[in-house]
Structure formats: structure tokens, C-alpha cells
A and B are shown apart, each in its own frame.
Chain A
Amino acid sequence: MNPARTLMPLARTEELVVEQLPDETLVYDLKRHKAHCLNHTSSLVWQHCDGRTTTAQVARLLEEKWGLPRDERIVAFALERLRRARLLADGTHAPGDGISTSRRELVRKLAAVGGLTMLLPVITSLKSPLAAAQASTTTSAQCNLCIGVGLPCSDRPGKVCTANTPTQGKCRCV
């Protein structure tokens, strides 16, 4: 790996809601309205996406904290998952290009060292908390009051309550 490219990329910080739980990190993307759950290893990798720490240092941290083999491919694997979830800052690269980060290969390696596959960096998607929090449907009358934006309109099949339509700042079932 090119030494210049072994620095960790920058984590995205804008328009995210982050909740740290004892076992995992929850992230809500306010821009794309997607929620993610990072397990402890992907969470640790994300926390060190500061543009200063090296991938080797993070691999060592994973070893010290979770007993994973000191292998930069695990870091690269996590970074690739973070990039796909759009949790890295725009314009930063995820180091590891050219390094094999196949999940199958990593699983095989971790299984060989005492069943550590559960520690493989994982990012899972959750359903959108905003959608889940509100009623499952709205009506056009409620939508006209901007109540239930983003929800299907029960009295207008196939229509969704939408804000900022051409009549700026107002809501309609469209």
C-alpha cells in the first residue's frame, strides 16, 4: 500500500444524527433519510476516520481491543462498507484500493483464528425512524396542513404527501 494512502479518510459529519450505544453506533442520514447500525468494530474504524491516523494504527487498535488479527484488510473492508453507506466525507478516498477485501476471505481468516467472524465490521440498514414515528398514512386534508409529509395519502391511492412542491413551502398529495 502506498504510504501516502494509508492515512484514514475523513468521516462525514454533516447532516448526520449519531447515537452511541454500549454495543453499537446508530447513525441517521438526514440527507438521504437512511438509518444505519454500525457494530463495534466498524464503529471503531469510523471513529478513527480523522485523516491523521493510519490504517496500520487502526488495525493494531482492533487487535488490542477486540482480539482481531492485525490485518489492514479488515480496516479496508470496514472503510469500503462505510463508503457504501456514505458515511465518509465527500472527496476522500477509502484506502485499500488494490487490497483484496472480499468478505468471504475475511470470514475464512477470522474463523480460522477462533471463530471471530462475529467481529467482522458490519453496517446494517434500519428502517427510517422518521417514517416509523409517524402514522403509516395521512390524508389529503391532513397533508394540506403538512401533517404526514412523506407518507402515502390514504384517500388518494398512489399519491404521497409531499412538501416543497412547485407551490413552494406548501404540502400536497402528489
Chain B
Amino acid sequence: MRPNARGGDARENGRLVAAALAGAWRSPAPPLALSPADIAEITPLLVRGGTGPLAWWRIRRTELQYAAGARSLRDTYRCDTLQAAIHERHTIQAIAALRSVGAEPLLLKGWAAARLYPERGLRPYGDIDLCVRPEQYEAAVAALTGRAAETGVVDLHRGLPELYRPSLDEVYDRSQLFPLAAEEVRTLGFEDHLRYLCIHLLRHGAYRALWLCDIAVALEAAPEDFDWEYLLRGEQRQSDWIICALRLAHELLGARLDGTTAAGSAKRLPRWLVPAVVRQWGTREHYMDSSTMTASLRRPRSMLKALRLRWPNPIQATVGVGGPFNELPRLPFQLGECLLRTAHFVTQVPQLIRQRSVGPVGRGAHTPVPGERSR
């Protein structure tokens, strides 16, 4: 195993992160059997993974609140509490702007995931992910243009191809409205919300522990009439992915699966999967926290590092090429994903150059590129 930057082992640290977060979203949070030294060691990892507030929530009434690093967790919690209030204002403004041009947005992740946590501020926010119908996309971009100060950073999605649903109409039909201040926010229906979280986690290689916490929280908040058949409807490959993500939440974070379809499934997690996830959580460097590949092209010295960081992890590679989660070696998937990403990057270069020469086009939608943060 590769030693970590501060002498710890990435997998061991990743396991400590998992231990710190297991059940941390519950109220009251279960007791934690880590030492103050463990907390100090993993604090930077928790903060980087967006789970600093959850870790603080868990230790704040214990002796561990005095551990080195705990202050940093507390500050993250404070900071995210304020940020949540600001983000909610932005969300309301962005939704109002889109509705003013007749587009009805669906809110993905963000507040839709955070509302299930016991307290505001336990789940940090990044940009605002909103989905509109493809035919409303251009009008939606125009509505958001030049309004960054009011709406914050909006990641506008043209439909939801990443949900692998044949009909966006059905997704809208099953969507739900929740009050947020004076506005009503439309979120995915519970089943689609959980499905989206699972696919998103795997697409990004389970890099942020926060995403698995989101799944665990949604799983435990599922209503009694939760439609498991609808959650798993569609291609068998995606259904297997979702079951894998749910089982990961159970195995690493102790999410309750009893009585669910995922618990009854005969599918086992491949042996490489849990080690791959904990290694992600215990690693101090990741391409999503570094400069973009375009920026690295201008600094040849950073190219090698950028390329090394972009070597796809087995989870990301499997989903990237649409592969199965089984016991077969992952190297072919990783090579395939690398080729796909390189080809994609090459096709994007002219567009990036054009954007630079055309200049500002105003605020609006964008396609997330490697290096961009997603929460």
C-alpha cells in the first residue's frame, strides 16, 4: 500500500474516516471509538471530503471535542451553517429566475439532500444543480445570464440522462414540492433522488465520503411506501450499480438496509470495491481538487502530476465504460476509461479555445469538467 503524505496509510486513514462517519447523521449520533490522535490524523481528510461538520456533530458532546483538529471541524461546521443559509437564498433566486421564463427546474443534490440531515449546516453545498427540460434549456440559460450575484453558481442540466430513465415526464410526475422560505422547491421523487445519488457517487469514483453519507441519510429517511421496484427499474447494469452503492453505504457507514430489496439481493460487493473506496477517502490529493487539465497544459512541470491524478480509479472506470461490478480485474476498464476521457478532452480543446477568444458569454450552464468541484 502506498504511504500517505503524512506517514499514514491511505487505506487505513480511509477506514478511520468511515468509522468517524458511521451513523454520524443520526440524532443523537452514536458514540465514537476513535482516539484523539486518530481525529487529528483524519481531520484534513474529513474537511476535504465535505464531512467535517458531520464529524463535529458526532464528537461535539464528547471528550474528542478537545482533540487536535477538532477546532477545525467546528469551524467547518460554523462555516457550512452560514453557507447553507446563503445557499438557500441563492437556490430560491435561481428557481424564481427560471420560473419567470416558464422553466420548471428540478433541484438535484444540494438542498434536496441536505434537508434530510438533522441540522442545517451538516451537509456543505457547492454549486446549485438544477435540471430543466431540454426544450427549456436555452431560455433557462438566458434567465440566469448575468445574475451570479443573486443566484450563486448554477450547474444547469439539460434533462437528466445520467439518471438512465427513458422518460423525463415520469421523473417530473414523481417529483415533489417542498417549501423553502417563500418559494416551493421541486426535487426528484424519493426513488429518483436515491437513484441519482447512487449513480453520481459511482460516476465520480466515490471520491467524497459526503456522497455516501447522502445515500445513507436518504436510505434511512425513505418513506414506508418507498417503491423499490421503481428505484431499480431499467437496465440490469444500472440496477446492479445502485445495489452496489446501497450496500457500500451499509458496509462502510452502517446505513440500515434491513427489509429492503438491496438487503435481499444475492449480489455481493466485489472484493476490490471497499478497499478502492477507502483508499479514495484516505488519499490527500485528487484531481477534483487540482487545476484543470487545460491549465496543466500551460505548465509542463505539472503535467505529470495532473496525469497521475487523473488515472481513473476502478469505480469511476467501471461506470465510465458502462461495465459491471464483478470480480474481474479492473485494468481493462481503467485503460478504456482513460482512452474515452482523452478522446473527450481532445474534442473539447477547440471549444475551450473558442470560449477564450470569444470572451464572456454571461452566466449560465456548463458541462462539469475534470477539476471542478461537485457536491
Interface contact B362-A146, CB-CB below 8 Å:
yes
Within 8 A of B (CB), among A1-60: 17, 19, 21, 24, 26-28, 30, 35, 37
Interface contact B362-A134, CB-CB below 8 Å:
no
Q: Is B181 an interface residue (CB 8 A)?
A: no
Contacts of B363 in A (CB 8 A): 145-147, 171
Q: Is B233 an interface residue (CB 8 A)?
A: no
Considering the complex, give the chain A residue whose CB is closest to the CB of B74. Answer: A37
Closest beta carbon of chain B to A129's beta carbon, Å: 3
Interface contact A134-B148, CB-CB below 8 Å:
no
Closest beta carbon of chain A to B277's beta carbon, Å: 23
Closest beta carbon of chain A to B190's beta carbon, Å: 26
Q: Is B91 an interface residue (CB 8 A)?
A: no
| Central interface residue in B82, B127, B148, B295, by most chain A CB within 10 Å | B82
Interface contact A139-B83, CB-CB below 8 Å:
no
Choose one: B75, B148, B289, B371; the contact of A171 (CB below 8 Å): B148
Instruction: Pick the interface stretch among A65-73, A76-84, A85-93, A162-170.
Output: A162-170
Q: How many residues of A contact B (CB 8 A)?
A: 38
| Central interface residue in A30, A127, A137, by most chain B CB within 10 Å | A137
Within 8 A of A (CB), among B265-298: 289, 291-292, 294-295, 298
Take A28-B86, A133-B126 as given contacts and tell me if A147 and B366 are in contact as well, using a CB distance cutoff of 8 Å.
Answer: yes
Contacts of A74 in B (CB 8 A): none
Closest beta carbon of chain B to A89's beta carbon, Å: 21
Take A126-B82, A130-B86 as given contacts and tell me if A139 and B75 are in contact as well, using a CB distance cutoff of 8 Å.
Answer: no
Interface contact A154-B295, CB-CB below 8 Å:
yes
Choose one: B87, B153, B295, B364; the contact of A139 (CB below 8 Å): B295
Q: Bound state CA distance, A141 and B362, in angstroms?
A: 11
Choose one: A19, A144, A147; the contact of B153 (CB below 8 Å): A147
Q: Bound state CA distance, A135 and B124, in angstroms?
A: 12
Interface contact A163-B148, CB-CB below 8 Å:
yes
Q: How many residues of B contact A (CB 8 A)?
A: 42
Contacts of A17 in B (CB 8 A): 82, 85-86, 89
Q: Is B62 an interface residue (CB 8 A)?
A: no
Q: Bound state CA distance, A142 and B295, in angstroms?
A: 12
Choose one: B82, B294, B295, B373; the contact of A129 (CB below 8 Å): B82
Q: Is A96 an interface residue (CB 8 A)?
A: no
Q: Bound state CA distance, A149 and B362, in angstroms?
A: 12
Choose one: A133, A136, A141; the contact of B87 (CB below 8 Å): A133
Q: Is B359 an interface residue (CB 8 A)?
A: yes
Choose one: A126, A141, A171; the contact of B78 (CB below 8 Å): A126
Closest beta carbon of chain A to B345's beta carbon, Å: 13
Q: Is B6 an interface residue (CB 8 A)?
A: no
Contacts of A154 in B (CB 8 A): 291-292, 295, 371
Q: Bound state CA distance, A144 and B146, in angstroms?
A: 11
Considering the complex, give the chain A residue whose CB is closest to the CB of B75. Answer: A126
Contacts of B86 in A (CB 8 A): 17, 28, 30, 129-130
Interface contact A129-B79, CB-CB below 8 Å:
yes
Interface contact B83-A129, CB-CB below 8 Å:
yes
Q: Is B307 an interface residue (CB 8 A)?
A: no
Q: Is B7 an interface residue (CB 8 A)?
A: no
Contacts of B121 in A (CB 8 A): 19
Interface contact A155-B292, CB-CB below 8 Å:
yes
Contacts of A26 in B (CB 8 A): 78, 81-82
Closest beta carbon of chain B to A107's beta carbon, Å: 21
Q: Is B360 an interface residue (CB 8 A)?
A: yes
Q: Is A95 an interface residue (CB 8 A)?
A: no
Interface contact A35-B82, CB-CB below 8 Å:
yes
Considering the complex, give the chain A residue whose CB is closest to the CB of B352. Answer: A141
Considering the complex, give the chain A residue whose CB is closest to the CB of B120. Answer: A19
Q: Is B361 an interface residue (CB 8 A)?
A: yes
Contacts of A19 in B (CB 8 A): 81-82, 85, 120-121
Contacts of A142 in B (CB 8 A): 366, 369, 372
**B residues bordering A, Cβ < 8 Å?**
75-76, 78-83, 85-87, 89, 120-121, 124-127, 146, 148-149, 153, 289, 291-292, 294-295, 298, 352, 355-356, 359-364, 366, 369, 371-373
Apart from A133-B125, A135-B373, list 5 A-B contacts with CB within 8 A.
Answer: A17-B85, A129-B79, A133-B126, A144-B356, A146-B362
